[in-house]
Amino acid sequence: MRPPLIDDLRALTPARAGGDLLAGSITAVLLVPQALAYALLAGLPPEMGLYASILPPVVYAFLGSSRTLAVGPVAVAAAMVASALYGWAGDDRELYIQGAILLAALSGVLLLAMAALRLGWLTHFISHPVLSGFVTGAAIFIVGTQITALIGAPGSGRHDFLGEIRHLVAALPQANGATAAFGLVSLLLLALARSPLQRLLTRAGMAAGAAAMVSRLVPLVVVIVATLVSALIGAEAMGVRTVGGISADLPIPDLGMFRSSGWWQLLPSALLIALVGYVESVSVARSLALRRREAIDANQELIGLGGANIAAALSGAMPTAGGFSRSMVNFDAGARSQLAALVTAGWVLLITLFFGGLLAPLPYAVLAAIIVVAVWQLIDLGSLAHTWRFDRGDGVAQALTLGGVLALGIEGGLVLGVAFALAVFLYRTSRPHIAVVGRVPGTEHFRNIHRHVVDTWPERLIVRIDESLYFASSPRVYAELQALVTGHDSALADVVLVLSGVNAIDASGLDMLAAFHDELQRLGIRLHLAEIKGPVQDHLERSDLLASIGAERLYLSTQAAVEALASDSRAG
């Protein structure tokens, strides 16, 4: 799919341009505080969050297939950056920053490589429950690790949720009063700015749209007011940790880092960041596109996000992805094309150049409050109960991923969840459902004898196999077939296997069928196959199984098999 921006710009009308201009400006208002906060969350200087909000979204705008996805720094990826670099960089601050840029470069290269090799399907192996458990776990993890920053207590210095929580108990009494005031007041205002403020304003007669707009201004207002108050009261002298100046220089690409030895060590982390960022971005982009009947091209998204991350690396920024809340705001504010993203980027560029230095007195605790409020909405424990009700395996996978993130860390939890979900699938497919079927009277349909009232015959055993015959399922299918043959009426003369549920047969499955056929032959029982699917039949033609069973014992339908057997027994 061709990225839509150029066509959109050609077809631009004043009304549409106005919509994008407004939406882009509103998104910028939300983005600037988030950019500073997520850089803090990643353990990086604040300007790296701002840089991530300038060039990367511009590159995405030209390459991506979504008209409304807002690309930039995101909370989960920021936490993953911190996870990857804690330990790797040790106390070396410069190495840490270089590592973040390397992660962006690697993520970008991996996404582009996946686009070139058409490997987008790799992300299909992250199941919905695992992703949901992961996001909720990561959000709780992030909240847990922001509490010390919020109240000005000394951090544990470790990137570990359980350790941080244990540390908190001891650290609470060492909180800094002034910092806690900044943090908790900001937290309260930001929390109130969500639905309570909107409800209040609409109840006071304001239009819903205007109320939402005011509510979205609150984070920026909190940042500005906190910066002013901090400067006026001299908060830094009171022990409040502040941002301490944002470099107003635009970053210059440092190509030297590409000779770093970190490439290989950071590759697994970069892969996880790329996969999670991609999956989240595509799902946000898709749900927004659906609302306007637009389309998202999964492969073009790999290119768009890959390009954005390469741009992040080249402009000295942290890794980027499509943000959930920011894209929603952009969409709701009336963005129709990626022109809005260009407007947002322009605003962030201006703010970085001309106002960055003014943010020096901003307390970190305010940014921690922004992080906590932003990720709080990602916590979805109801989904866990919902998944559990539908499917126990998926429920355990979701809980295990969530718990794994908290107990083992962000990366470990994700890997554990994906591995567990795969294990559940493999376990289930290795224990297939097998049904003895009979004919529903008066029809040509055959159903499970234990679920339906059906006709059966003592001399015939008709068995439906509800799984592909592959190496892990074949031994069990074989054992069950043997047991059915042994347990059947001694008049048994014909076994019909109904293969409507057999979507594939591999070499082990073929061996199993051949062994079963041999065994039936020794017992003087004939084997018949019904409802073999086209691709399975093609595959079996490559072996001599069908020839040894005999073409006359293969039937398009179970009914045809039963009719043939009936005329056989009349003839005999």
Distance (Å, whole) CA 313 – CA 114? 18
Examine residue 553 and tell whether it contacts its own copies (CB under 8 A).
no
Nearest to 157 by CA among 45, 82, 53: 82
The 494-498 sheet, strands edge to edge: 446-448, 433-439, 460-466, 494-498, 526-530, 554-555
Residue placing its CB nearer to its own copies in the complex, 2 or 389: 389
Pairing mode, strands 526-530 and 554-555: parallel
Tell me which of 474, 496, 516, 528 binds its own copies, using CB under 8 A. Answer: 474
Residue placing its CB nearer to its own copies in the complex, 14 or 534: 534
Residue placing its CB nearer to its own copies in the complex, 233 or 556: 556
Residue placing its CB nearer to its own copies in the complex, 174 or 429: 429
Nearest-approach distance from CB 561 to its own copies, in angstroms: 12
Span interacting with its own copies, options 25-33, 154-162, 373-381, 505-513, rule CB under 8 A: 505-513
Nearest-approach distance from CB 268 to its own copies, in angstroms: 17
For residue 130, report the phi and psi dihedrals to the nearest 5 degrees. Answer: -65, -45
Residue placing its CB nearer to its own copies in the complex, 444 or 568: 444
Examine residue 433 and tell whether it contacts its own copies (CB under 8 A).
yes
Nearest to 220 by CA among 68, 355, 73, 47: 355
User: Which residues, listed in sequence order, are joined to residue 438 by a DSSP beta bridge?
Assistant: 447
Tell me which of 429, 456, 521, 569 binds its own copies, using CB under 8 A. Answer: 429
Tell me which of 12, 22, 86, 128 binds its own copies, using CB under 8 A. Answer: 128
Nearest-approach distance from CB 429 to its own copies, in angstroms: 7
Helices 262-291 and 128-151: angle between axes, nearest 10 degrees? 110
Tell me which of 172, 217, 507, 547 binds its own copies, using CB under 8 A. Answer: 507
Pair 492, 526: CB distance under 8 Å: no
- The three-class DSSP label of residue 445 is coil
- The three-class DSSP label of residue 465 is strand
Examine residue 488 and tell whether it contacts its own copies (CB under 8 A).
no
Pair 368, 146: CB distance under 8 Å: yes
Examine residue 118 and tell whether it contacts its own copies (CB under 8 A).
no
Nearest-approach distance from CB 463 to its own copies, in angstroms: 14
Tell me which of 479, 489, 548, 563 binds its own copies, using CB under 8 A. Answer: 479
Examine residue 548 and tell whether it contacts its own copies (CB under 8 A).
no
Nearest to 491 by CA among 518, 514, 524: 524
Would you give the distance in Å from CA 394 to the centre of its chain?
15
Examine residue 564 and tell whether it contacts its own copies (CB under 8 A).
no
Examine residue 391 and tell whether it contacts its own copies (CB under 8 A).
yes
381: number of CA atoms within 13 Å, CB side?
Answer: 3
| Helix H or strand E encompassing 110 | helix 93-116
For residue 447, report the phi and psi dihedrals to the nearest 5 degrees. Answer: -135, 165
Nearest-approach distance from CB 551 to its own copies, in angstroms: 17
Would you give the distance in Å from CA 25 to the centre of its chain?
28
Distance (Å, whole) CA 221 – CA 499? 66
Q: 495 is written with which tokens?
A: 């076994």
Residue placing its CB nearer to its own copies in the complex, 33 or 129: 129
Q: 479 is written with which tokens?
A: 């054992």
Span interacting with its own copies, options 88-96, 162-170, 403-411, 438-446, rule CB under 8 A: 438-446
User: Which residues, listed in sequence order, are joined to residue 242 by a DSSP beta bridge?
Assistant: 363
Tell me which of 52, 79, 126, 342 binds its own copies, using CB under 8 A. Answer: 126
Tell me which of 428, 441, 456, 550 binds its own copies, using CB under 8 A. Answer: 428
Examine residue 421 and tell whether it contacts its own copies (CB under 8 A).
yes
Q: Among residue numbers 224 through 253, which ones bind its own copies (CB under 8 A)?
A: none
Span interacting with its own copies, options 221-229, 302-310, 313-321, 495-503, rule CB under 8 A: 495-503
Span interacting with its own copies, options 73-81, 306-314, 333-341, 420-428, rule CB under 8 A: 420-428
- The three-class DSSP label of residue 70 is coil
Instruction: Fill in the amino acid letter for 160.
Output: D
Helices 128-151 and 392-408: angle between axes, nearest 10 degrees? 30
Examine residue 542 and tell whether it contacts its own copies (CB under 8 A).
yes
Examine residue 561 and tell whether it contacts its own copies (CB under 8 A).
no
Pair 65, 297: CB distance under 8 Å: yes
Kindly write out the interface string for residues 276-305 of this chain, putting x where it contacts its own copies by CB under 8 A and - elsewhere.
--------------x--x----x-------
Examine residue 385 and tell whether it contacts its own copies (CB under 8 A).
no
Tell me which of 447, 449, 480, 564 binds its own copies, using CB under 8 A. Answer: 447
Examine residue 448 and tell whether it contacts its own copies (CB under 8 A).
yes
For residue 526, report the phi and psi dihedrals to the nearest 5 degrees. Answer: -95, 145
Q: How many CB atoms lie within 10 A of CB 91?
A: 7
Nearest-approach distance from CB 407 to its own copies, in angstroms: 21
Helices 75-85 and 262-291: angle between axes, nearest 10 degrees? 170
Pair 288, 68: CB distance under 8 Å: yes
Tell me which of 210, 350, 385, 504 binds its own copies, using CB under 8 A. Answer: 504
Find the radius of gyration of the CA atoms of the chain: 31
Q: Which residues bind its own copies (CB under 8 A)?
A: 121, 124-130, 290, 293, 298, 387, 389-391, 393-394, 421-422, 425-426, 428-433, 435, 440, 443-445, 447-448, 451, 466-468, 470-476, 479, 500-501, 503-504, 506-508, 510-511, 519, 522, 531, 533-535, 539, 542-543, 556-557
